Amino acid sequence: MYLSVKPLIKLKKGLNLLDYRIPESLYPNIKKGQLIEIPFRNSSKMGLVFDIKNTSDLKPNMIKDITRIVNINPIVSENQIKFYNWFCDYNFSSLNFLDNIVPLPMKNKIKEKACLAEAEPRRKEKFFIKKTPITLKKINSSILISDSFIFKHNLYNEKISLIKNIIDKNSKNKKITFIICPTKSHIEKIVSSLLNFYNDKDYRIITGNTNLSKFKHNEIWSSIKDNNVKFIVGTKISIFYPQEYTESIIIDESENENLNQIDTNPRFEFLPSAFELSKINKAQIIFTSYSPNSYLYNLAKTKQIKLFQSSEKITSEISLLDMSMKYFENYIHFNTEEEIKKTLDDSKKVLFLLNKKGYSRNLKCKDCGFIFKCSNCNSILTLKKLENHESLYCYNCEKEINISLQCPKCKSSRLDNRGIGTEQFTEIIKKLYSIEKTIIIDKDNIENIQQIKNNNIIIATRLIIDYLEINEFDLVVIPFSYQFLNNSFDSNEDFFKFISKLLSLTPRKIIIQVPCEAKIYSHIYNLDYFKMVEEELNNRKLFNYPPFSNILKLTIKDTDKSLLDKITSKLYYEIRQNISKNVETQIIEPSINKVRSFFFKYLIIKYKNNSDIINIKNILENIDIIEKNYFKL
């Protein structure tokens, strides 16, 4: 008899499982999901049993015996194994993510407990969790027993009310509720609210084991596996943890793009993976959302899932101010100035939201149109104004570049900065309202989050939105709304989702300065989600975008640009030879084509059904970076 084993070390992409033989003495006790010790090269490693089988494709002399069974009781269920296998197949991923998730045995428990005692205070500092008072809303009890549904709500406390009702329903049946959040700040808010009703023993937080001692990580895993908690709150990595006692999986803010894992491995399309997880474990799945994305709405439209709306009304006023016909000094409409003055006179706060950090977007020659770009990666340089000087900065390479006095192309000295960022806009606001306390919150100044209460005017990029509290700002101004509407085909929907989240924070008024007439502004003003999303779906159907097709983005990289071109062309030709004619393929050279020492290109594959790409699966298994249906190129 043989075992298919995942060694808990990093293996080459495409090499997920290795075959081992079961010694006769161990055969009666072997089970799927057990942790075992295996010989690997010249040492011993831990491995996870994925399958037990009668035969192997390898020659007998190439197969080694396992050393011992570490855990008699499986630490991973057969349903988890089923999900892991599906996950790898659907997302073209490897199983290497298990190396940092599966709990390994502790050599010295006493030592580990001592380490835990030392590490625990530091761990608590990483989460800003404290009991935060909240007023619950009445939830229609009929929706709680629905198999799966989307809950479109307007206010934060509606969401918490639903979550509490689900936890209470499940805990009566001794079942666990899994709450999966987009970011750490979402976890902090939800737990802080739920502490009004539950204590520290009722929940665990999952963000992976990176910042935990081995003892604490193993304790979290065991608490779930032994059904010792009422609910789990975690990031997207939570989908790989035990689910035997899970009754409901709640996806918090399902429209949030942070749920799509694109920066670290494994890269995966989150929402389909969450659906499959609930299906395999026969768990209820609930999506909370201020503005459900097109993918979920289309499932509701085709009656694959129910969509419930809250009855709570939005009280914030939305004002659209036309900036197209007149020149307004300082980029501020006179009606906006009047509202700002009124708000500050009442000792209330104003939030300005921009989508560009730095001083300005770029530096351009007025005579020949040359735009200054980074010589290393080709990204457009941002003008930054420091205390004693100005400089150009490449956010991709993270390096500062001295400003040239002349255009390198035509030698003209007529240079102009185009666009406006948080730094330049702050200078304007400080001149207008010199007596008011003003701070910037963007990627370069994220530490200023702690200073919001001490300032009257906050100028921030959109990253601030996940850190804001309800009623924190009286007035929100979006002075350059065009910054949020880029060339990405989903930017209209993205902007609508952004405004919906802002409205949940219940400001008195939101002012959006608009440069032109566009349907999206009308949808926002009328808060017409359904017209907006129907229009989005019609456009996507017309251009064959998801959810009406699938898109794979393959990233090919190399330190040698000429070699990269050859590798990409060869891969493109090989794929074209093995797929049907109706599958679209395209090579894209990104505007930023170098990161650190690597040049890279994208190869895009657009297809309808899995059968269209069945003949290239062996090719895809060896590509390191594949993103599925994440379309921001």
Q: What is the pLDDT of residues 486-512, one digit of tens each?
A: 767 788 999 999 999 999 999 999 999
C-beta separation of 513 from 479 below 8 A:
yes
Residue 233 tokens, joined: 């709150």
- Residue 447: count of CB within 10 angstroms of its CB: 8
**Helix/strand/coil for 285:** strand
Radius of gyration of the chain (CA): 27
CB 18 within 8 A of CB 95: no
Q: Say which range, 44-48, 401-405, 454-458, has the weakest mean pLDDT.
A: 401-405
pLDDT band for position 247 (cuts 50, 70, 90): very high
Q: What whole-number distance in Å separates Cα of residue 5 and Cα of residue 174?
A: 33
The H-or-E segment that residue 264 falls in is none
**Using one digit for the tens of pLDDT, what is the confidence trace for 164-190?**
999 999 999 999 999 999 999 999 999
Q: What's the chain's average pLDDT?
A: 89
Report how far residue 168's alpha carbon sits from residue 189's, in angstroms, rounded to the nearest whole number: 19
Residue of higher predicted confidence among 30 and 401: 30
Residue 522 CB contacts under 8 Å (≥ 6 apart), including other chains: 528
Residues 551-562, mean pLDDT to the nearest whole number: 92
Q: Is the pLDDT of residue 125 over 50?
A: no
Q: Are 258 and 186 in contact (CB under 8 A)?
A: no
Name the band, by pLDDT with cuts 50, 70 and 90, for residue 350: very high
End-to-end CA distance of the chain: give it in Å, rounded.
48
Average pLDDT over residues 524-545: 94
Q: How sure is the predictor about 387, in pLDDT bands with cuts at 50, 70 and 90?
A: low
Percent of the chain with pLDDT over 70: 94
List the single range of 168-182, 188-202, 429-443 with lowest mean pLDDT. 429-443
Predicted pLDDT of residue 511: 98
**CB contact set of 112 (below 8 Å; sequence gap of 6+):** 106, 213, 214, 215
Give the Å distances, CA to CA, from 416 to 94, 363, 368, 386, 483: 48, 6, 12, 18, 19
Q: How confident is the model at residue 119 (pLDDT cuts 50, 70, 90)?
A: very low
pLDDT digits (tens, 9 = 90+) for 64-100: 999 999 999 999 999 999 999 999 999 988 899 998 8
Q: At residue 228, does pLDDT exceed 50?
A: yes
The pLDDT of residue 261 is above 90: no
Residue 178, strand partner residues: 232, 249
CA distance 187 to 288: 14
8-state DSSP, 403: P
In this prediction, residue 367 carries a pLDDT of 86
CA dist 240 and 93 (Å) reads 13
pLDDT for residue 585 is more than 90: yes
What is the per-residue pLDDT for 74? 96
Residue 123 reports pLDDT greater than 50: no
Asked if the model's pLDDT at residue 419 lies above 90, the reply is no
Least confident of 104-113, 308-317, 323-332: 104-113
Note if the pTM is more than 0.75: yes
Q: Are strands 317-322 and 598-607 parallel, antiparallel or unpaired?
A: unpaired
Q: Answer whether residue 423 shows pLDDT above 60.
A: yes
591 vs 432: which has the higher pLDDT: 432
**Over residues 516-526, mean pLDDT:** 93
Q: What is the mean pLDDT of residues 138-155?
A: 90
pLDDT at 631: 56
364: β partners:
371, 416
Q: Is the pLDDT of residue 439 over 90?
A: yes
| Residue whose structure tokens are 């948080």 | 422
Give yes or no for residue 154 having a pLDDT over 90: yes
How far is CA 151 from each of CA 123, 155, 164, rounded to the nearest angstrom?
A: 33, 11, 14
CB 37 within 8 A of CB 120: no
Of 191, 143, 502, nearest to 316 by C-alpha is: 502
- Under 8 Å CB-to-CB from 61, ≥6 apart: which residues? none
Q: What's the mean pLDDT in 239-265? A: 88
Domains and CATH numbers, the chain: 2-77 (3.40.1440.60), 109-309 (3.40.50.300), 317-361+419-538 (3.40.50.300), 550-628 (3.30.70)
- Asked whether 626 and 552 are in contact (CB, 8 A), the reply is yes
Give residue 203's pLDDT band: very low, low, confident or very high (50, 70, 90): very high
Q: Is the pLDDT of residue 200 over 90?
A: yes
Please give the helix or strand (H or E) that residue 477 lies within, else none: strand 475-478
Mean pLDDT of 245-271: 86
Residue 438 burial (CB count, 10 A)? 17
- The listed range with the strongest mean pLDDT (137-141, 201-205, 427-431) is 201-205
Asked if pLDDT for residue 115 goes beyond 70, the answer is no
